[in-house]
Chain A
């Protein structure tokens, strides 16, 4: 784990996403106040924070589902709000988003779900698109028989995998995951973490990972950013962040669950 962290710690890399001075409000409720954050190429960045701290809102501001009230979001060096709709669509093709509950299109089967962006954006023929869709499904570890199933007949873990396959359909440069392991059993969750790291190593995308799952943080994240008090309280490697002097961070990383996850990760690392 540690060698991967040092490899991605190089500060001279241009960030793929940089958020500067972000302010988000809902009415009088300020969610983000002057928030800064960078996502570096090829890293898995874990975003943690208490419930209601605005992790999902941050994700939505970056992918353009919510217009920030102030501040700017730069993606690949371009500010999102300065682009016209066509450039924006081009930009959004480089994103892959996995929503918390999968958000698979319920009227299409799995293979059609993944073929849709391929047909619409890459202008492939239906048979080619469905062929590639089956490759993607197999890539995320789903059996061939799943291709013709409808989303409602799948288990939670399979929905997450299928949603990941759809997020990967256009070979994105940045993958946004909103609590991918929430609601999965520990075995499926661990398998998902492993899958994510393998795919990242093979496909070289950056990952913006919103999570509550401490095991995910320890097993797959290169860097961690803590969102608290309306801004990024700390960002860095797990060890750096865990050493931050803040009550919430201390309670999070050094509480009973945090210690257990850390222990599990270090024994796993030793076995390797």
Chain B
């Protein structure tokens, strides 16, 4: 038994020393060493109590019981008034049960519930996306005949932000991937003495797939996140509600300009990507495969049908639409806090990249079956 904090002898309990937060662990240990009936001691002396704060008071209330401490003015009138007030107040605070309801469920319950929640959330997300698509298309159809409501300024601003400003990064990235594809092709094809087909490899891959795919993935990371963050912070700041109460349509004002800008931007960026991917391939071809630039261009003209270019380009508006929609929808889903903005931004990037790759795979299957 620690003599420093609490002494129990012959049904008399003496509380001593500093009952403060700094000594909380020692106090707890001292109380744990007391016999069980100590709390019901006949006499309690607080004469030597040097200091007490809320932490010490909580322990004291736990030791002596709420009722007894609640009537402290009756049995310890010599205690300074503010300490009486503190103890009475803490006893009052602890009179109702403190512990929140414990969750007692078998672990597999929680796991199944989580799985169900995830599937349900996924299903709702797809429903929401489809509903949102319908809403945007309907709004678009409504304003199509009113050119005054096209918000050209906003569209141009978004084209600059999400398109023009992204040209350097798209060009650089596709240039480097073009060079890598050319190297890869040269390494494999050299064994068959077919190095010259490196040109076809680079051209096929960039016109049909990589040009549009790389541009779309970059925009998914760069622009979908920006849309979500912009709309999300507006939502958190109740700006979107303010628009609605003024009878203005946030879809028309905020979503359509972004969707339109993306529909214009992504095909253009795809074209930039294709060109600079081919340039990367041509550079590797002329520097390390001894294929002159004129031969590269000649082979392109002769072997590669324009269909491939058109097929690749045809996917750009679809990707653009999906990326812009997911970015805006996630922005609208933001609730209140800054943390929510962050979560939805992450979610919008992951979803839009996933959708782009999924759609690209489906398109590749379709084009192959059609023999295009």
Contact = CB atoms under 8 A, between A and B. Distances in A.
A139 B336 contact: no
Contacts of A152: 335-337, 339-340
A76 to B, nearest CB: 17
B234 interface: no
Contacts of B96: 138, 143-144
5 contacts: A122-B22, A132-B21, A135-B58, A171-B20, A201-B85
A5 to B, nearest CB: 18
Contacts of B336: 152
B33 interface: no
Interface string A151-193: 0100000000000000010110000000000000000000000
A229 to B, nearest CB: 34
Interface of B: 20-22, 24-25, 28, 53-55, 58, 82, 85-86, 88-90, 93-94, 96-101, 335-340
Contact of B94 (A118, A138, A168, A170): A138
B90 A145 contact: no
Contacts of B28: 128
B82 A202 contact: yes
- CB-CB nearest 5 A-B residue pairs: A138-B93, A202-B89, A139-B93, A171-B53, A134-B98
Contact of A135 (B85, B86, B93): B93
Contacts of A106: 337-339
Given A134-B98, A147-B100, A198-B89, A139 B335 contact: no
A29 interface: no
B339 A107 contact: yes
Contacts of A132: 21, 24, 54-55, 58
Nearest to A147: B100
A60 interface: no
A120 B337 CA distance: 26
Contacts of B335: 152
A138 B98 contact: yes
Contacts of B54: 132, 135-136, 139, 168, 171, 203
